[in-house]
Amino acid sequence: MTTLAPVKPSTAPPTGPRRQAVIDGMPRPGMPERIVKGIFLTVISALVVVPFVAVISTSLATPEEVNRAGGFVLFPKHGIDLSAYRSIFAGGTVTQALLVSGFVTVVGTTISLVLTCTLGWALSRRGTLGNKPLLMLVLVSLLFNPGLIPTYLVVQQFGLLDSLWSVIVPTCVSAFNVIVVRSFFTGLPAEILDAARVDGASEWKMFRHIGLPLSKAVVAVVGLFYGVGYWNSFFSALLYLNDSAKWPLQLVLRTYVVNGVELGGQDLGIGSESLPPQTTIQMAILMISVVPILCVYPFIQRHFAKGVLTGAVKG
Amino acid sequence: MEHTASERPAARGARRRRSLSFGARLLRDYPVLVLAIPGMLIILAFQYYPLYGNVIAFQDFQPYLGIGKSLWNGVQNFAVVGNGDPEFLNAVKNTLILTLIQTVIVFPAPIVVAITLHTLLSNRLRQLVQSILYLPHFMSWVIVVAIFQQVLGGTGMINNWLRSHGLDPVHIIGNAEAFRALLTSQVMWKDTGWATILFLAVLSQIDRSLYEASAVDGSSRWQQILHVTLPGLRPIIILLLILKLGDSLSVGFEQIILQQPAVGTEASEVLDTYVYNNGILGGAWGVSAAVGLVKGLIGLALVLAANKLAHRLGEEGIYRG
């Protein structure tokens, strides 16, 4: 038993041949396998990247090139033309929709983060009055969906129909995100909170000055999920907003890009003589709805696993 | 989910204080409750309160009368579920076919991608591919549908290429017969990459010594994947299948609503779009609410049953109880 010589850990650096025969316990992949994997990953990555490149290129290509290609341009060879973007930002329908989407996203994400973090914090304070029943209410709500028509009736009853708040309020607290934030708060070292309490910190001070600063990563990921949700929200706008002046970008995108309704000079707020080809305008609209996500994505991406896994594993 | 009390001095203290009276606890804990109230109100108002609205499934509901004044009509609205209404049956049929496709084709795809990524030697390459593959998940359905139209549509990228090379164009967008294949490829394009995230996390937790032991026994890489990797993924696969089962009657609502005008309801109507089209647009509130209620109850029953089955098979499932 104890007389056995200690077994040399097999993860120790290999000796002998320069190339390891076994990596992490798996035999080193042979050449055929590496080639197959390389091709497989290149193909699926290209399936994602190429359409985006084509969208960007078409939105920037000159009208002559777009007309010659019959629609889609993969690489603009004849210079860049920003007229599609100029016409979008000229103050017409699309500009209006951008403002609406921006408002909904900024205000909505702020409200969502405040409500989610405060509720998550309160639920993480075990042993307080009503903690268990409240937590149960949140968890059980994950198991069912109240249904399309009953939700519509409630939004109507609260007088939110045709108001931008209908796109924000009903979905502003996601029970799943509450659980993610809560499980992160629960994992904070109790000693810090105890020390703060001894020093006379109020509940709000502990939340604001200890809980939140220590949970920046998870708050960032949850914020991204909310932000993307609001920016992309399409169905609640379709359901609750009849007035097309209040349409967010996604509804404009559906009407003019998916359904292919022509955008005239009047809709854009410019003279129709200087109108770029429809495809170019469509791709430019598509681009401006993708760009904000592309801008935030790299900063938050490395925290994804944290946000997704705390929820899935501990929820 | 809960730590044991011995790990957490705070929790132990809380247990001791539980002998306090309700009033004293309220006085002590009201700051916590104040923080909980706004978020709880939203969940109660938009998650629990709407449940009451399901009573219109038993009413001849008229929007101008409201729930209070509309007349009750018993289970008449549920007749559509029982008497074989062709539109309803068509929606059920399409829903079930899409569910089957999503379980058999869409679900396993990220497992294959995750195993491929996991066995890559270069971390940097793996991270690059991951960031590319996660991206479509953050695009809205409107964007995904628009991109697919631009690539596969009549004047899209592929058809332009085919035409310029003297080949026949393919008719995919707006073709009812190709609609299921189109939906499936869109779902896979959008979410296969993102779905790998959970599998990758589990793969990185598989005990290395298992691989080493099997390598010593002379297993090839393929045998290791079969006998170490896949069994290691079993619990998460079962967990995700259970969760999917509860959602199985909700198949791609936004995605279908967006493309329904192009292909017609015959090929595209599913239960969710049936509720939307007949209820909100068509004014058959009671019948749609009845269909929605039945669908919700079946979903709930499926989750509970699947969870029980998972326990029988000796797995954790989503909860114990």
Instruction: Name the domain count of chain A.
Output: 2
- The reply to whether A293 and A148 lie within a common domain is yes
Q: How crowded is residue B100: how many other Cβ atoms within 10 Å of its Cβ? A: 11
Among the ranges given (B8-12, B27-31, B84-88, B276-280), the one the predictor scored with the smallest mean pLDDT: B8-12
- The reply to whether A46 and A91 lie within a common domain is no
Q: Reply yes or no on whether the pLDDT at A65 is more than 90.
A: no
Q: Cβ contact (<8 Å) for A258 and B142?
A: yes
pLDDT of A78 reads 74
Q: How far apart are CA A247 and CA A1, in angstroms?
A: 74
Among candidate residues A23, A55, A80, the one where a domain is terminated: A80
Among candidate residues A80, A96, A116, the one where a domain is terminated: A80
Q: Reply yes or no on whether the pLDDT at B213 is more than 90.
A: no
| pLDDT confidence bin for B198, thresholds 50/70/90 | confident
* Within a domain: A13: no
Q: Reply yes or no on whether the pLDDT at A6 is more than 70.
A: no
The CA distance from A78 to the nearest CA of chain B, in Å, is 19
pLDDT of A231 reads 95
Q: How far apart are CA B178 and CA B259, in angstroms?
A: 12
For B140, the closest of A29, A193, A232 (CB atoms) is A232
- The reply to whether A129 and A190 lie within a common domain is yes
Does the beta carbon of A107 lie under 8 angstroms from any beta carbon of chain B?
no
Q: Cβ contact (<8 Å) for A143 and B150?
A: no
- The reply to whether A252 and A208 lie within a common domain is yes
| CATH number for the domain that contains residue A235 | 1.10.3720.10
| pLDDT confidence bin for B121, thresholds 50/70/90 | confident
Determine contact, residues A90/A268, Cβ cutoff 8 Å: yes
Mean residue pLDDT across chain A: 83
Q: Cβ contact (<8 Å) for B208 and A128?
A: no
Residues 48 through 77 of chain A touching chain B, CB cutoff 8 Å: 48-49, 51-52, 54-55, 58, 69-72, 74
The CA distance from A77 to the nearest CA of chain B, in Å, is 17
Q: Reply yes or no on whether the pLDDT at B189 is more than 80.
A: yes
Q: Across chain A, where does the E strand assignment appear?
A: 22-23, 26-27
Q: pLDDT tens digits for A173-182?
A: 999 999 989 9
Q: Cβ contact (<8 Å) for A145 and B22?
A: no
- The reply to whether A66 and A176 lie within a common domain is no
Mean residue pLDDT across chain B: 85
* Within a domain: A224: yes
- For chain B, percent of residues with pLDDT exceeding 70: 92
User: In this structure, what are the phi and psi dihedrals at residue B235, rounded to the nearest 5 degrees?
Assistant: -60, -45
- The reply to whether A129 and A203 lie within a common domain is yes
Q: Cβ contact (<8 Å) for A190 and B140?
A: no
User: In this structure, what are the phi and psi dihedrals at residue A22, rounded to the nearest 5 degrees?
Assistant: -130, 130
Q: Cβ contact (<8 Å) for A137 and B224?
A: no
Q: Reply yes or no on whether the pLDDT at A8 is more than 60.
A: no
pLDDT of A103 reads 96
Handedness of CA A146, A147, A149, A155 (dihedral sign): positive
Q: Cβ contact (<8 Å) for A116 and B39?
A: yes
Q: pLDDT tens digits for A94-123?
A: 899 999 999 999 999 999 999 999 999 999
Question: Could you tell me the residue range of the domain that residue A67 belongs to?
Answer: 31-80
* Within a domain: A192: yes
pLDDT of B248 reads 79
- The reply to whether A191 and A252 lie within a common domain is yes
Q: Reply yes or no on whether the pLDDT at B97 is more than 90.
A: yes
Q: What number of C-beta contacts closer than 8 Å exist between A and B?
A: 298
Determine contact, residues A25/B210, Cβ cutoff 8 Å: yes
Q: pLDDT tens digits for B260-315?
A: 988 888 889 999 999 999 988 988 898 899 999 988 888 888 888 888 887 887 77
* Within a domain: A23: no
- The reply to whether A69 and A210 lie within a common domain is no
Among the ranges given (A35-39, B12-16, B26-30, B153-157), the one the predictor scored with the smallest mean pLDDT: B12-16
pLDDT of A1 reads 36
Q: How far apart are CA B78 and CA B58, in angstroms?
A: 8
- The reply to whether A146 and A66 lie within a common domain is no
Mean pLDDT throughout A11-28? 61
Mean pLDDT throughout A41-66? 87
- For chain A, percent of residues with pLDDT exceeding 70: 86
Does the beta carbon of B223 lie under 8 angstroms from any beta carbon of chain A?
no
By CB neighbour count within 10 A (0-12 exposed, 13-18 middle, 19+ buried), where does B111 fall?
Answer: buried
Residues 69 through 128 of chain B touching chain A, CB cutoff 8 Å: 113, 116-117, 119-121
**Bridge partners for B60 per DSSP:** B71
* Within a domain: A8: no
- The reply to whether A180 and A306 lie within a common domain is yes
Among the ranges given (A124-133, A197-206, B79-88, B135-144), the one the predictor scored with the smallest mean pLDDT: B79-88
- The reply to whether A75 and A129 lie within a common domain is no
Q: Reply yes or no on whether the pLDDT at A255 is more than 80.
A: yes
By CB neighbour count within 10 A (0-12 exposed, 13-18 middle, 19+ buried), where does B39 fall?
Answer: buried
- The reply to whether A218 and A265 lie within a common domain is yes
| pLDDT confidence bin for A68, thresholds 50/70/90 | confident
pLDDT of A5 reads 44
* Within a domain: A277: yes
* Within a domain: A110: yes
Mean pLDDT throughout A223-250? 92
Determine contact, residues B176/B267, Cβ cutoff 8 Å: yes
Q: How crowded is residue A80: how many other Cβ atoms within 10 Å of its Cβ? A: 10
Q: Cβ contact (<8 Å) for A147 and B32?
A: no
pLDDT of B179 reads 93
Q: pLDDT tens digits for A219-232?
A: 988 999 999 999 99
Residues 177 through 206 of chain B touching chain A, CB cutoff 8 Å: 189, 192-193, 197-198, 201
* Within a domain: A19: no
Q: Reply yes or no on whether the pLDDT at A9 is more than 50.
A: no
Mean pLDDT throughout A205-227? 90
